[in-house]
Amino acid sequence: MMKLHNVLLACALGAGIFGSALPASAQVYGGVYIQTAPPAPIYESVPVAPGPGYYWVGGYWQWNGYRYAWVHGRYAYRPYAGATWHAGHWVNGRRGWYWRAGQWGPSY
Statement: residue 104 has pLDDT above 90? yes
What pTM was computed for the model?
0.67
Averaged pLDDT for residues 7-20: 44
Please give the share of the chain, as a percent, with pLDDT higher than 90. Answer: 61
- Predicted local distance difference test score (pLDDT) of residue 21: 39
| Contacts of residue 97, Cβ cutoff 8 Å, sequence gap at least 6 | 33, 34, 35, 36, 37, 38, 90, 91
Statement: residue 65 has pLDDT above 80? yes
Band (28; pLDDT cuts 50, 70, 90)? very low
Question: 97 forms bridges with which residues in the sheet?
Answer: 34, 92
- Predicted local distance difference test score (pLDDT) of residue 101: 93
For the chain, what are the domain ranges?
Answer: 25-105
